[in-house]
Structure 1
Amino acid sequence: MMRKLLAFLPLFVLLLAAGPVASAQELLAEVQVTTQNVTITDPTIVTQMQNDIRTFLNSRSWTNGTYRPEERIRLRVFIGITGIPQNGTYNSTMRLISTRPVYGTGYETNVISVVDRNFNFNYSPQNPLDFSPNSFVSNLSSLLGYYAYMVIGIDRDTFSRLGGTPYYELARNVVNYSANQSSTSEPDEGWRGTNSRERHFLLDNITDPQFESFRTGLYAYYRQGLDLFVEKPDEARASVMTALTGIQKAAVTRPGTLFTRAFFDAKSDEIANIFRTSQDQRLKQQLVTMLTEVDPGNSAKYQTVLK
C-alpha cells in the first residue's frame, strides 16, 4: 500500500536522483542517544548504539507494503540513558515524533509525539539488533518494533479511514509476547499496562471502539482537511471542524487519554492558524466554544481566532 504523499522534500529528491528503487522501507528515522548524569567509559558505545538503532529502524521492512523513498515516514527518536545498573544494561527514556507532509506545500505537521518514560535494555556493539514480529528477541528491538508499528498505524489512519488497524494488531503481538516473556534479564513493566502512561495502555486507547471517532477524526483532519487547504480552504476548514467534533466526542467518552491530550498540545497553534483567516464568524465562534471546553489549557490561543 503506497503512502500517497505528493509534497516532496529536498532530501527525497536526492534519494530519487540516486536511481530507481524497487521497494523501500517505511521509516526514515533520525536517532539521537544521549547520556544524562551517567558516565560511560567508552563513549563510542553511545555512537554505535545510535547508529545501530537508526539502521534497525530504517533498513527493515515493517509491512508488506511498497513505499517509495519520498513516501517514507519521517521520524525523530531521542533516547536518554539515565542509568547503567551493570555493564551492558541501560535504563532509559525515549521521545518519539513522527511528521507528515501536507499536500501542495512545503509544510510538515506532527502526527504523533509520545514519551516512554522508563525502559531498560541490554546492548552490546558486538551483537546486531534482531527482531521477530511473533517472538521475543530483546527488549530494545521489541520496543523499537512496537513504536514502528504504532507510527505506521497512525500515519495510515491519516490517509485512509481506520487504515492503521492491521499495524496496531502487529503492535499488539509485540506487547503480548514481550509482557509474557520470562527468559531474559530485561523485565519491563511497561509491557504490562500497570500504569496509564505505559505502552499497553496507549495501544488499548487507540484500538478501543469508544475511541474510533478520534481515529476517523485523524483522517478528516489530515487527508480531507490539511491536504485540501491550498486548493479548497473553506472545504478544508469544514473537514477539520468535523474532525475536531469527532475528537471532542472521543475526549468526552474517554476523558484523560494521552492521545487526545497530545493531539491538542501539538495542534493548538495549527488549528488557530487554520481558522484565523476564515470569513465565517459563526464557524469561528463554534470552534472557539467547542475547543475552550475540551481543551481549556489552550483557550487563549483559540480566542485569537475571533480577533
Structure 2
Amino acid sequence: MFAKKIGWILLGLLFPFWAQAQELRCEVTVNSEQVQATDRQVFQQMQNAISEIMNNTRWTSDVYQNEERIRCKMFITLRAMPQIGVYEANTQIISSRPTYGTGYETTVLSFVDTKFEFEYNPAQPLQYAPNTFTTNLTAILSFYAYTIIGMDNDSFSRLGGANALSEANNILTLVSSTGAAGGGWSASGDTRNRYWLINNLQDPQFEPLRSAIYLYHRQGLDLMVQDPEKARQNILEALRNIQQVARIRPGSAALRSFFEAKATELSNAFTSATPAQKQQAYELLTQVDPTNRARYETLMKR
C-alpha cells in the first residue's frame, strides 16, 4: 500500500486498530426495472449482498487507512431472468481517486461489462475464498475488486498494481479451469470483456499504458496545482507512452477503457495550456483516441 496521505499514516501508527480498513468503499446499485418478479425484495437483498462482499472483504494484506479506501461504484442493470435465480445483466464499474491539493476526484477505471451473467440465491452468502470457485457472481465481483485495486495502485506507483492484477488474472484462470466460464471470461466474442481487459493489463506490450497511468496521475494531475506547466508536459509524455500501445493494439479493451474515463478530463487539462501544448495534445489525442476527435477539436477553438 502506498503513502497517499502522510497525515493518515501517522494516525495509523498512533491508532493502528482504529485506522486499518478494507480496501474498497464501493457504492452498489441494482436496477431491476426490466425484470418481473413476484418477490421484489430479492433485488434489495442482492444489492446488499454485493455491497457486503465488496466493502467488507480484505482483498490484500496491504494496510489501508479509512480515508485511503478506494472509491468505486457498480451500476448493475438486470436485463432478464431466464429462470428463477438466474440473471443476465449489464454493469458499469467506475473507480476514482483524489488528486493532490484539490477536492477533485479523477476516474481511474471506467468499464462496461455486458456479459454480467450469474445465479443468486439469498440463502447463500457471497464469500470470497482464494483459489476456490464458488459462484460466477463471486468470481466476477472478486475479479473487479482486484482490477480496481490494481489500477488504483498503478496510479500511485509505476506498475504498483502488479500483484492485484495478477490476482484478477488468477481468478480468470480459475474460472476457466472449472469449465464454468460463462460470457465475458473467454477470448471469443466481444473483445471488450473481462478476459481482454485483464489480458491487456497483463500483456508486456501494454506496459507503456500502465506506466502512463502512473505518469498521468502522480506526475500530471497531482502536480497540476503546484506546477501546471510541468504537469501538462508529463501528461503529454504519458500520451506518447499510450501512443506506443495504440500503434500496435488499436481499439483494445484497456485503451478504450482509459479514454472512456479520461476524454473529457484530458480536454479540460489543456484548456489553459500554451498554444504549442494544445497543438501537441490535439495531435496525440486524435491519433490515439479518434472516437473522441470532436471533443478534442474544441481544444483548438479555445
State TM-score, norm by structure 1.
0.90
Q: Is the CA contact 1:7–1:104 (under 8 Å) kept in the aligned structure 2? A: no
Q: Is the CA contact 1:7–1:102 (under 8 Å) kept in the aligned structure 2? A: no
Residues 275-286 of structure 1 aligned to structure 2 (within 5 Å): 275-278=270-273, 280-286=274-280
**In the TM superposition, what whole-angstrom CA distance separates every residue of 1:108-167 from its partner, at most 9, and x where no partner exists?**
111111111023222111221111121101111100000000010011110000111111
Does the residue aligned with 2:18 lie in a helix, a strand or coil? coil
Q: Report the more deviating stretch, 251-260 or 187-196.
A: 187-196
Aligned to 2:242: 247
Q: Is the CA contact 2:184–2:194 (under 8 Å) kept in the aligned structure 1? A: yes
Does the residue aligned with 1:191 lie in a helix, a strand or coil? coil
Aligned to 1:40: 37
Residues 209-228 of structure 1 aligned to structure 2 (within 5 Å): 209-228=204-223
Aligned to 1:288: 282
CA RMSD of aligned residues (A): 1.9
2: CA distance between counterparts of 1:283 and 1:187? 47
2: CA distance between counterparts of 1:81 and 1:227? 37
Q: Is the CA contact 1:228–1:236 (under 8 Å) kept in the aligned structure 2? A: yes
Residues 153-168 of structure 1 aligned to structure 2 (within 5 Å): 153-168=150-165
Cα drift, residue 301 of structure 1: 2.8
Q: Is the CA contact 1:3–1:67 (under 8 Å) kept in the aligned structure 2? A: no
2: CA distance between counterparts of 1:34 and 1:151? 22
Aligned to 2:120: 123
Aligned to 2:4: 4
Aligned to 1:303: 297
State TM-score, norm by structure 2.
0.91
Aligned to 2:259: 264
**In the TM superposition, what whole-angstrom CA distance separates every residue of 1:195-221 from its partner, at most 9, and x where no partner exists?**
312211111111111111100000000
Give the count of matched residue pairs: 293
1: CA distance between counterparts of 2:199 and 2:147? 12
Unaligned runs of 5+ in 2: 9-15
1:206 to 201, 208, 216: 201
2: CA distance between counterparts of 1:6 and 1:254? 39
**In the TM superposition, what whole-angstrom CA distance separates every residue of 1:5-29 from its partner, at most 9, and x where no partner exists?**
4799xxxxxxxxxx96242100000
Q: Is the CA contact 1:133–1:173 (under 8 Å) kept in the aligned structure 2? A: no
2:182 to 166, 178, 188: 188
Residues 45-56 of structure 1 aligned to structure 2 (within 5 Å): 45-56=42-53
Matched, 1:152 2:146: no
Matched, 1:27 2:21: no
Distance change (3 Å), C-alpha of 1:35 and 1:94: same
Unaligned runs of 5+ in 1: 9-18
Aligned to 1:142: 139
Q: Is the CA contact 1:156–1:164 (under 8 Å) kept in the aligned structure 2? A: yes
2: CA distance between counterparts of 1:110 and 1:6? 22
Aligned AA (1:23): Q
**In the TM superposition, what whole-angstrom CA distance separates every residue of 1:142-194 from its partner, at most 9, and x where no partner exists?**
00000000010011110000111111110111111111214xxx651322221
2: CA distance between counterparts of 1:260 and 1:171? 18
2: CA distance between counterparts of 1:22 and 1:269? 35
Distance change (3 Å), C-alpha of 1:155 and 1:3: farther
1: CA distance between counterparts of 2:249 and 2:281? 21
2: CA distance between counterparts of 1:282 and 1:187? 50
Aligned to 1:83: 80
Q: Is the CA contact 1:32–1:79 (under 8 Å) kept in the aligned structure 2? A: yes
Distance change (3 Å), C-alpha of 1:253 and 1:3: farther
Cα drift, residue 36 of structure 1: 4.3
2: CA distance between counterparts of 1:81 and 1:297? 28
1:63 to 54, 60, 63: 60
1:103 to 87, 96, 100: 100
Does the residue aligned with 1:193 lie in a helix, a strand or coil? coil
Q: Is the CA contact 2:110–2:260 (under 8 Å) kept in the aligned structure 1? A: no
2: CA distance between counterparts of 1:49 and 1:229? 41
Displaced runs of 4 or more, over 4 A:
5-8
